[in-house]
Copies of this chain bind each other. A is one copy, B any other.
Amino acid sequence: MTAATSGPRLRDVNRVAVLALIGRHGPISRADIARRLGLSPATVTAVTRSLIEAGVIRKVDDGIPQGGRPAELLAVVGRAAHAIGVKVAAGRLTGVRADLDGTLLHTFSAPFDETAVNPFGALSELLAPHVAAVDDAPLLGIGLGVPGFVDSRTGLVEAPLLGWRHMPLRDYLSQLLDVPVLVDNDVNTLAAYEHLYGLGRPYEDFLTITLGQGIGAAVVSGGDLRRGGHGAAGELGHLPIDPAGPPCHCGRRGCLETYVSDGALVQQAREVGAVGPDAGPADLRAAADSGHPGAQEVYRAAGARVGTVAAGLVTVLDPQAVLVSGEGTLAWTHLADGFVTALRAGMFLPLVDAVNVHVDPWDDTKWALGAAALVLRAPFTMNAEPHTDAIRARLAAFPGAEVTQ
């Protein structure tokens, strides 16, 4: 199916497919591209020539000869374009500038009052200098990751944690800064990063689970991010655990987050006397690091809880891998045992050895890089969403593209 919303851009479907293959599967020869995509060598030559002339890809190396003429390995030119990625959190923005190949160029951070009368105006002013900064490579656009959900059709943001309802963040910023803007759930942006540049590169079906202040998930299936019917997929933190459990900010009781969010863990540690009344997540980690059994047990139990939930997801979704990320992985040494044990114990048995688990060491800028990846992956996908076309057009406008005219 997939047909319904497919845009008019069916012409260069192969151009995108070739670029995606080069982008995701590293340096690769034309012959290999032709084989993998089922295209004729002639077509691959034509497509790659146009991409080379546009400066988007280049020959990086000679392959080792396989008994004949050695292959020329092609890879994307990171400097062909760049994007800005921003993670929006309550009180603070974290931003990056990244190359087309995901290379981190520059990071920035600033306080942000999401409760202001016009938070978008402040956001726009904050980003404007970065947009205006000269660079020899074109700015493809700005990606934003927000802790909430986004209707990718309308671009409206629902972010209870920020107090935002029906906020037209995408279109507003795009108009003000005159740059393509993409907005998505922050965990989805992270998954976009993992898929394109990170641990998810080898997979077409994987799960990303994030631990921290909240608990999140993103589903990549069939090589595409699954946002669900209303853009609200992945709300793992609000999985019902116990209808009589602690109240959750979402309005329910006993959501997973009320048991394993950073705040919940600290609370549990306080109750067993593992940390003092004013302790924070770092104190809890320190307690566990120094061998406090109560603190360690809090982590183990939390890991087990998430592991069990993950096992359920794996059983239903059958991914090739589960990636764990987020600030919470700072305490991974304490969480790992509970998580892995519960995951393996709860997975549908035949899958136990078939699903890989990777932990992505947490990094402040990775979420923002993910937001940038949201933009940087646009040239590599066939989506015909509003701003992705504009992004592709900006890449095509790279010097060299018009020279061919």
Contacts and interface: CB of A to CB of B under 8 A. Distances in A.
Contacts of A8: 38-39
Q: Which of A14, A240, A250 has the most CB of B within 10 A?
A: A240
A386 B18 CA distance: 22
29 contacts: A1-B24, A1-B195, A1-B223, A2-B222, A2-B223, A3-B16, A3-B18, A3-B37, A10-B13, A149-B350, A205-B228, A219-B317, A221-B221, A221-B228, A229-B319, A229-B321, A230-B351, A233-B317, A233-B318, A234-B318, A235-B316, A239-B312, A239-B316, A240-B311, A243-B345, A251-B349, A252-B346, A252-B349, A313-B316
Contacts of A224: 1-2, 222
Contacts of A95: none
Interface string A221-263: 1111011111111111011100100000011100000000000
Q: Which of A3, A39, A219, A223 has the most CB of B within 10 A?
A: A3
A345 to B, nearest CB: 6
A4 B312 contact: no
Contacts of A234: 316, 318
Interface in A190-244: 195, 203-206, 217, 219, 221-224, 226-236, 238-240, 243
Contacts of A311: 240
A174 to B, nearest CB: 22
B2 A235 contact: no
Nearest to A206: B229
Nearest to A196: B1
Given A3-B20, A3-B37, A203-B229, A219 B346 contact: no
B21 A232 contact: no
The count of identical subunits is 2
Interface string A300-341: 000000001101110111111100000000000000000000
A6 B37 contact: yes
Given A8-B39, A14-B10, A17-B3, A240 B345 contact: yes
Interface of A: 1-4, 6-8, 10, 13-14, 16-18, 20-21, 24, 36-39, 149, 158, 195, 203-206, 217, 219, 221-224, 226-236, 238-240, 243, 250-252, 308-309, 311-313, 315-321, 345-351, 354-355, 380-382, 384
Given A7-B38, A239-B316, A315-B238, A232 B158 contact: no
A263 to B, nearest CB: 19
Contacts of A239: 312, 315-316
A195 B37 CA distance: 28
A351 B223 CA distance: 25
A248 to B, nearest CB: 9
A351 B240 CA distance: 14
Q: Which of A14, A318, A348 has the most CB of B within 10 A?
A: A348
A152 to B, nearest CB: 12
A319 B311 CA distance: 20
Contacts of A10: 13-14
Nearest to A232: B318
Contacts of A228: 205, 221, 317-319
Contacts of A36: 4
A38 B319 CA distance: 33
A232 B351 contact: yes
Nearest to A252: B349
